[in-house]
Structures are given as structure tokens and as C-alpha cells.
Amino acid sequence: MSKHGDEYSKEEILSLLKKNGSSDTLIDWFDRCIDFHMGTAAGLLIGVYMVDYALSLLGAKPGEKLYSVCETSKCAPDPLQVILHCTPGNHRLRVINIGRFAMTVNWPSDGDYAEGVRVRMDPAKLEDTPVLKAWFANTPDFDGKTMKKKLVEEIISKGTGMLSSEKVKVKVTHKQKWKTGTCSSCGEPVPENLLENGLCPGCGSQKYYEKI
């Protein structure tokens, strides 16, 4: 009996993965991603499979220089950071929050475009996993109080079988020179091209705090 009630603990999930025949490498990725995310969210678990699938399609492995785009801000960006070391800070991860549970992983390129693969959750492949299907569609058929364990079991049973992919090319944005400007409100320096009528985004369209 899990001390987490209807939720599996990390240790229980790793045990389920081992029983399912998952490789030691994949189990290690789940271990590290769950710690990084500080939780066992379903979207995170699916994200690990998405990264694994993308790597196999590219014939790549962690440690190689790869770039990524994540089409949701929920859960999926974390496996890209933990497994591939693609982060916003090193400019190898872009999160474009357009609401699709999908990601693209691509090789670097000196040209205008880079070749890669786009991996997405495919609802058409969820017919034999009704709890996962209901969760993904966000329907009332999914009860978060009683179905979380079954959800995890179905995710692990499907593995990469719940995913579809396509080859894509991604437009590359190369590093450009920029000049420093000064915000007319806060007086802080920002890249000149980000100024909005003399205001930095923090004083303008992206203001998120009030001074105390």
C-alpha cells in the first residue's frame, strides 16, 4: 500500500518500469526527471518517453549538442532539460506555449534551417488505454482522486506507443549583435531592440510586480 494514497511514489514508479522491462538508462532518466520536477506528474512521465523517442529517431544520445522546442509549458520542458541539457539559459530550449503536447528536437545547423523530428501525443493511439485517453482529453471520465495509479500504469504500458512523429526542419535564429538601451522608467539597461516606446518590457507589456 503506497503512503501516497492513490498516487505512486517515485520508488514505486521505478519498480513498475523495471517490471515492464525498461532499460537501466530509461529508469535513470525517470529517476532524475522526477527529482528535478519534484513530482510524478503524468505529463512529466510522458515527456521522458517523448525525449527517448526523439533520440531514437535522430540516432542521437545525451551529451550530443541538440536543440529543442517544446509546444507546452506544462511538464514536458523538464525532461528536455534533464536528459538533453537543453535549457533557456544555454539557448537550446524554446518553450512556445501553443497548447499542443509536442516537442521538436533537432541538430545544430550553420544554415537557415536545421533538420529534426517532432514528437507528439497521438489520441488515435489511446483507444486501448481509456484512463490515459480521458486524462489527455481532459474529460469528466478521468477522476484524479481514484485514477492516478491506473493512469501511470497505462502510460508505462504504452511507452512510446502513444506517440507519433514527423520529420521537420526548424528555422534557425543566429546570434545577432545588439546595443544597450536604457528604460525611461526604471533606468535599468536592456537590449535596445526590446524597448517599447522607451520602456523596458518589465515596465511595459510584461510588468509582473509592484514595488513595496
Whole-number CA gyration radius for the chain: 20
Q: Is 10 exposed, middle or buried (0-12, 13-18, 19+ CB in 10 A)?
A: middle
- For residue 1, is pLDDT > 80? no
Give 135's pLDDT tier (boundaries 50, 70, 90): very high
Q: Where are the beta strands (DSSP E) in the chain?
A: 67-70, 93-95, 102-106, 113-121, 163-171, 180-182, 189-191
* C-alpha–C-alpha distance, residues 22 and 176, integer Å: 43
Is the pLDDT at 2 greater than 50? The verdict is no
Q: For residue 161, give the amino acid letter.
A: G
Q: How does DSSP classify residue 62?
A: B
**How many Å apart are CA 90 and CA 199, to the nearest integer?**
26
CA distance 188 to 180: 10
Q: Would you put residue 169 in left (φ > 0), alpha (ψ -120 to 50) or beta?
A: beta
**Average pLDDT of the residues of the chain:** 95
CATH 3.30.1330.130 residue ranges for the chain: 10-171
The CATH number of the domain covering residues in 10-171: 3.30.1330.130
* d(C-alpha 99, C-alpha 188), whole Å: 33
With beta carbons less than 8 A apart as the criterion, state whether 47 and 34 touch: no
Within 8 A by CB and 6+ apart from 16, the residues are: 8, 152, 153, 156
- 66 versus 2: which is more confidently predicted? 66
Confidence of residue 55 (pLDDT cuts 50, 70, 90): very high
Query: Residue 83 pLDDT > 70, yes or no?
Result: yes
Share of the chain above pLDDT 90, in %: 92
> What sign for the dihedral angle of Cα 115, 164, 26, 57?
negative
Q: What percent of the chain has pLDDT over 70?
A: 98
CB 188 within 8 A of CB 135: no
pLDDT of amino acid 5: 59
